[in-house]
Amino acid sequence: MQCDYFDAGLCRSCTLMGVPYGEQLAAKEAHCREQLAAHEGITWLPAVASAERGFRNKAKMVVGGTVDAPTLGILDAAGHGVDLQRCGVCDPGLHAAFPALVDFIRLARIQPYDVPARRGELKHLLVTISPDGELMVRFVLRSQESLSRIRKHLATLLAALPNLVVASVNLQPEHKAVLEGADEIVLTERQTMRMRVNDVELGLRSRSFFQTNTPIAAALYAQAREWVAETAPASVWDLYCGVGGFALHLAAPGREVVGIETSAEAVRTAERSAAEAGLPGTRFLADDATAFALASTVPPELVLVNPPRRGIGTALAEWLERSGVERVVYSSCNAVTLGRDLRSMPSLRPTRARVLDMFPQTNHYEAITLLERA
Ligand SMILES: C[S@@+](CC[C@H](N)C(=O)[O-])C[C@H]1O[C@@H](n2cnc3c(N)ncnc32)[C@H](O)[C@@H]1O
């Protein structure tokens, strides 16, 4: 893929920009195979390719410039805004929304935050698009200074973007490089955006995690569903379940599915999706995945884990090792920690594995592997 911003040296976020896509995918699979090289006899399914461009369902735009000429993109080395509204990895529906958001910043006089001067209000715009073209927009602000003006002019924004279904303000008062703060003020009647993935309706609230590449997420959940269906377990845990993407794909008549996740907001959303889908056997609990497993008395027949980049860690891996669970599905966005976690559970051997390219133009990717007790 070619990118004018990259070629002009304005943005280097996509570290593999310009590298032919086939080479990127081959290198990712080679890297994954390296991390699992200690394990013999793995059947590698063909890597799942992504669209090279327009695949990101979420734009995290740093706001810079002035209230009359805001930039949406990143900050340069001096802390000044660089406009990246045509960023090619973003879904075209996000590009289409940016001009109306810029107009709204002007209308509501929301001063972009000036990092070097430590002045201003609007730090980031976080915009997510659903597979049906609905939008969620979050304004990350230093304080509530502009909140009443945002409320006052919101109807104009909603008229300009009729597909905008959830809008919120997030307060991030500190002068440090974090994306968002703890306080969220939802401005619209709706708090949840529906995310249709395969035949499953997921919900997304402002602060919950969602896989950034929806078609690849669909392939990932479908892969897990296929492997789980082979043995039709009566009980399944989905650890690190987020808004329930895996759990809701694995729900089946007569099967008990339990999703565990630290974010109470994500758990509430997952519970609602399960209720709306009529899945009484699917439950969600806000808990630490390791604490939940260690406190349990009866392990399920199958465990699926999908941890953050740090992996599941030694305590949970050792619990899985001694749990007697026959099959584990491990979905990982960091094959290095996946390889490390596997060393702590030698009885659970990876028998099948697949790379899915969740993050084209970067070195990152998702890997899913089926572990079976030897
Ligand atoms: C990579 S995301 C996966 C989410 C989900 N499986 C999906 O497909 O959207 C990891 C999730 O783990 C959650 N998490 C982080 N630490 C956790 C912990 N110690 N116990 C349980 N969940 C945790 C995060 O909030 C996040 O939702």
Model pLDDT, residue 2: 97
Read off the pLDDT of residues 288-335 as tens digits, 9 standing for 90 and up: 999 999 999 999 999 999 999 999 999 999 999 999 999 999 999 999
Q: Which two tokens stand for residue 291?
A: 């604490």
Report the b/e string of 85-107 with b at 16+ CB within 10 A.
bebbbbbebbeebbebbbebbeb
Q: Which of 262, 282, 338 maximizes ligand 1 atoms within 8 Å of its Cβ, making it the mutation to test the pocket?
A: 262
Decide: 146 in ligand 1 pocket, CB within 6 A. Answer: no
Helices 335-343, 21-35: inter-axial angle, 10-degree rounding: 20
How much is the average pLDDT of 276-299? 97
pLDDT at 185: 98
Tell me how many helices (H) and strands (E) the chain has: 10, 17
Whether residue 306 has its Cβ less than 6 Å from ligand 1: yes
Does 333 participate in catalysis according to the annotation? yes
Query: Are the C-beta atoms of residues 254 and 281 closer than 8 Å to each other?
Result: yes
> Is the separation of the CB atoms in 146 and 122 below 8 Å?
yes
Ligand 1, atom 8, residue with closest C-alpha: 245
Per residue in 167-224, pLDDT (tens digit) is: 999 999 998 878 899 999 999 999 999 999 999 999 999 999 999 999 999 999 999 9
With a pLDDT cut of 90, the percent of the chain lying above it is 99
The encoded tokens of residue 83 equal: 């406009």
Cα–Cα distance, 176 to 57 (Å, whole number): 26
Query: What pLDDT score was predicted for residue 345?
Result: 98
C-beta of 246 in contact with ligand 1 (< 6 A): yes
- Going by CA atoms, what residue is nearest to atom 1 of ligand 1? 308
Per DSSP, the residues of 103-117 read HHHHHTT-PBPBTTT
pLDDT tens, residue by residue, 144-157? 999 999 999 999 99
| Of 194, 135, 205, 204, the residue nearest 170 (C-alpha) | 205
Distance between CA atoms of 57 and 215, rounded to whole angstroms? Answer: 10
- pTM (2 decimals)? 0.97
Catalytic residue selected from 3, 11, 241, 333: 333
